[in-house]
């Protein structure tokens, strides 16, 4: 089966309103009315509405980088799935290593968020990845398996059509040191087989697995050429239209 490539930009806590809007406009222009890949921009929550306005009528979607699992209530500083959707978000990231490591988000909480995202009608990009110490200890597969099983193990099969997984080795994020195509490819193959066991073979075959971690204009083509790498989740290089364009072009395969 050929899976439609899926390239997403995770802007993290960067840009201001004017530059977010300008960047979204440039992406919209580059992608055009139709492209042979899917594209989403995960904007800071406060700019989602402005970016959604720019992207209206375009195949490029806007997403949020974080949501809370509860629908409403006394959760100062948080936003619900319904709120994100209300301002135009089509998708949400859950399980990013920065949320796990810097904000203490544990697997059980991430599972609740993933469920809330899907129950709320959004698409989900669920991130997994090992630290350098875990890789060096030979624990990469065990770590991503635990993250995936605890995060998405309870999802009904029908929800998986709105799920993408991002494999983001922590040691590759923001370091300029990307996983090699072979290293990423191995983990993608492992994750797809795991989803085959957790859900079923057809779901595993249809699932898009993005690679994230120092994806750049220079390395995108060789990473995306690996059969099990179905796209990219791009941090730093998604903040500049020149590099993002090159990565999108690498997804035209």
Kindly list the catalytic residues.
96, 168
**From 86, 174, 193, 200, residue interacting with ligand 13P (rule: CB under 6 A):** 174
210 scored as a contact of ligand 13P (CB under 6 A) = no
User: Do 245 and 161 touch, CB atoms closer than 8 A?
Assistant: no
Smallest gap, in angstroms, from Cβ of residue 200 to ligand 13P?
Answer: 28
14: exposed, middle or buried (Cβ count in 10 Å: 0-12, 13-18, 19+): middle
Smallest gap, in angstroms, from Cβ of residue 148 to ligand 13P?
Answer: 17
Q: 105 is written with which tokens? A: 């988000």
Residue number closest to ligand 13P, CB atom: 235
- Report the C-alpha gap between 170 and 172 in whole angstroms: 5
234 scored as a contact of ligand 13P (CB under 6 A) = yes
By rule CB under 6 A, what count of residues binds ligand 13P? 14
User: Do 235 and 12 touch, CB atoms closer than 8 A?
Assistant: yes
**From 35, 184, 233, 248, residue interacting with ligand 13P (rule: CB under 6 A):** 233
User: Regarding beta strands 6-10 and 231-234, do their DSSP bridges make them parallel or antiparallel, or are they unpaired?
Assistant: parallel
Q: Which stretch binds ligand 13P (CB under 6 A): 18-26, 32-40, 76-84, 231-239?
A: 231-239
235 scored as a contact of ligand 13P (CB under 6 A) = yes
169 scored as a contact of ligand 13P (CB under 6 A) = no
Smallest gap, in angstroms, from Cβ of residue 238 to ligand 13P?
Answer: 7
- Report the C-alpha gap between 43 and 203 in whole angstroms: 28
How remote is the C-alpha of 114 from its chain's centroid? 12
81 scored as a contact of ligand 13P (CB under 6 A) = no
- Name which of 164 and 173 has its Cβ closer to ligand 13P: 173
Helix (H) or strand (E) holding 146: helix 140-152
Q: Which stretch binds ligand 13P (CB under 6 A): 76-84, 148-156, 235-243, 244-252?
A: 235-243
- Report the C-alpha gap between 2 and 227 in whole angstroms: 9
User: Do 188 and 212 touch, CB atoms closer than 8 A?
Assistant: no
- Name which of 153 and 174 has its Cβ closer to ligand 13P: 174
Smallest gap, in angstroms, from Cβ of residue 176 to ligand 13P?
Answer: 8
Q: Phi-psi region for residue 130, left (φ > 0), alpha (ψ -120 to 50) or beta?
A: beta
Torsion (CA) 67, 143, 167, 93 in degrees, nearest 10? 0
Tell me which residues touch ligand 13P (CB under 6 A).
Answer: 10, 96, 168, 173-174, 212-215, 233-237
């Amino acid at each position: 089966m050929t899976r439609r490539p899926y390239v997403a930009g995770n802007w993290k806590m960067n840009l201001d309103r004017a530059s977010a809007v300008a960047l979204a406009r440039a992406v919209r222009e580059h992608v055009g009315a139709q492209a042979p890949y899917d594209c989403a921009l995960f904007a800071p929550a406060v700019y989602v509405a402005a970016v959604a306005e720019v992207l209206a009528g375009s195949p490029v979607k806007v997403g949020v980088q974080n949501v809370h699992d509860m629908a409403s209530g006394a959760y100062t500083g948080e936003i619900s799935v319904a709120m994100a959707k209300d301002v135009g978000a089509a998708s949400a990231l859950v399980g990013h290593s920065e949320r796990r490591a810097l904000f203490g988000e544990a697997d059980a909480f991430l599972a609740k968020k993933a469920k809330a995202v899907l129950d709320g009608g959004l698409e989900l990009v669920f991130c997994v990845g090992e630290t350098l110490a875990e890789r060096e200890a030979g624990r990469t597969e065990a770590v991503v398996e635990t993250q995936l099983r605890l995060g998405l193990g309870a999802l009904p099969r029908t929800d998986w059509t709105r799920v993408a997984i991002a494999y983001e080795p922590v040691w590759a994020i923001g370091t300029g040191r990307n996983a090699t195509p072979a290293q990423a490819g191995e983990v993608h193959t492992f994750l797809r087989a795991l989803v085959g066991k957790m859900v079923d073979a057809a779901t595993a075959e249809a699932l898009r697995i993005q690679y994230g971690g120092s994806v750049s204009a220079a390395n995108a083509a060789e990473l995306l050429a690996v059969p099990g790498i179905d796209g990219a989740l791009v941090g730093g290089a998604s903040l500049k239209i020149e590099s993002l364009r090159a990565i999108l072009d690498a997804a035209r395969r």
